[in-house]
Amino acid sequence: MEPEKFKISDILYGIIIPIILVLLIFVLAFYLNPSGSEHVLGQAGTTGTIAVILTQGFAQMIVLGVPLVLGLLWNKWAGGAAGFIMGGLYYVASAGQYNGLYAAMGGATVSIPITSDTLAGIANGTITSLSGVGNSSVPYNFFGDLSMLFYLVNAVIIGYIAGALNNKSTSFKRMLGAGLTAAIITAVIQAIMNYYISLPPARGMAQGLWATDLGQALLINFVPSIALGVIVPIIGKVMTWYGLQPMRHQ
């Protein structure tokens, strides 16, 4: 069987689309991300919330969307396994990022031996500086943050729940119901973990947001998940039209 001849569309799928994706990721990270260099939408208020949804929210939707679509189209085991991989990568990346951020803001403990000669030298001006050995301290270890670990757990269970509820059906209504149910359950779990279990910085922000702005809290915690629960079944249904679902061996 001879391979297909080279077509102009191969350039589109092999070069142009990947470059567009790279540029899109750069724009989101550099210009829209609230912690990015430019953050043109700001870091607070309504525009700041939109920026969070378009960056961190979008990243979490990708992490949860891959196991969700595999659970719907294949089975619960494929969804759970994909969630373990995607969620694990996101957990490690997020925990490392926040550990780095807090390490940069952390302090350092320095031990300098002081003797009577040292004090005398300071008093008469012969000693003008002191040096010692110290080590920096990081106030929080986000690798041990259980709420952050639940990024991995939720990625696993969203694929598993969707696969178990849909059970290989190609009915759009069933796919939509399974996708929405799985997405809402995981959103509720993550909101609870952020409110009660997360480390003090994140827990304080979560509790403060729910106490002062209920609408924004609902928007950030649930709207991306509801959108995910609707968009992914639509994508999955379209994939079945073109025969793109995984093959099932009897």
Residue 135: pLDDT above 80?
A: no
- Strands 108-111, 133-136: parallel, antiparallel or unpaired by DSSP? antiparallel
Residue 20 maps to a domain: no
Higher pLDDT, 112 or 63: 63
Q: What is the rounded CA–CA span in Å between residue 69 and residue 239?
A: 10
The residue written with tokens 């001849």 in the block is 5
Instruction: Please give the model's pTM, rounded to 2 decimal places.
Output: 0.75
Residue 219 maps to a domain: yes
Residue 121: pLDDT above 50?
A: yes
Q: For residues 45 and 212, is the Cβ–Cβ distance under 8 A?
A: no
Q: For residues 59 and 52, is the Cβ–Cβ distance under 8 A?
A: no
Long-range contacts of 168-177 (CB under 8 A, 24+ apart): 168/74, 168/75, 168/248, 170/237, 170/240, 170/245, 172/233, 172/234, 172/237, 175/72, 175/233, 175/236, 175/237, 176/229, 176/230, 176/233
Listed residue (54, 70, 49, 33) closest to 239, CA to CA: 70
pLDDT, tens digit (0-9, with 9 covering 90-100), for 40-97: 666 666 666 677 777 777 788 889 999 999 999 999 999 999 999 999 999 998 888 8
pLDDT, tens digit (0-9, with 9 covering 90-100), for 147-202: 999 999 999 999 999 999 999 899 999 999 999 999 999 999 999 999 999 998 88
pLDDT score for 171? 93
Listed residue (168, 192, 187) closest to 178, CA to CA: 168
For residue 118, give its domain range. Answer: 52-241
- 103 pLDDT band (50/70/90 cuts)? confident
Higher pLDDT, 83 or 242: 83
Residue 115: pLDDT above 60?
A: yes
pLDDT score for 49? 67
Residue 43 maps to a domain: no
Amino acid found at 193: M
Percent of the chain with pLDDT over 70: 78
Residue 101 maps to a domain: yes
pLDDT score for 81? 95
Residue 135 maps to a domain: yes
Residue 124 maps to a domain: yes
Residue 188 maps to a domain: yes
Listed residue (79, 29, 41) closest to 186, CA to CA: 79
- For 44, counting Cβ atoms within 10 Å of its Cβ (0-12 exposed, 13-18 middle, 19+ buried), the class is exposed
pLDDT score for 185? 96
Percent of the chain with pLDDT over 90: 42
CA 112, distance to chain mean position in Å, is: 42
Query: Domain count of the chain?
Result: 1
Residue 18 maps to a domain: no
